[in-house]
Amino acid sequence: MKVWIYDGPTPWHFVTLPKKLAAEIKVFHGNLAKSFGSIGVTVTIGDTTWKTSVFSDTKSGSYVLPLKAEVRRREGIVADRTIQIILKIA
């Protein structure tokens, strides 16, 4: 998945989940959605694992995963880089 930046007042790094994966999450776990359509997940990138949420994104028709600055620093993640993610529904 490719890292991109939301360029707002406080920029955030995200990845957009593949649409097929997003569709499966909606079918099997959509009932877990909280505010803003968020679903709790545990994510692993490289040697870093943390708990967070994916958020429903109407623009892409998928879910987006925010990438914390601490995780990006630990794993050397920058915008436009393609990364591998292990994602488990929490």
CATH assignment of the domain containing 10? 2.40.30.100
Spell out the residues 6+ positions from residue 24 whose beta carbon is closer than 8 angstroms to its own. none
State the pTM of this model: 0.89
88 bridge partner residues: 42
List, for residues 49-85, the tens digit of each pLDDT value.
999 999 999 999 999 999 999 999 999 999 999 999 9
Provide the domain count of the chain. 1
List, for residues 13-36, the tens digit of each pLDDT value.
999 999 999 999 888 887 777 877
Alpha carbon distance 10, 22 (integer Å): 26
Domain containing residue 71: 3-89
pLDDT class of 43 with cuts at 50, 70, 90: very high
Q: Smallest Cα–Cα separation from 64: which of 48, 85, 78?
A: 85
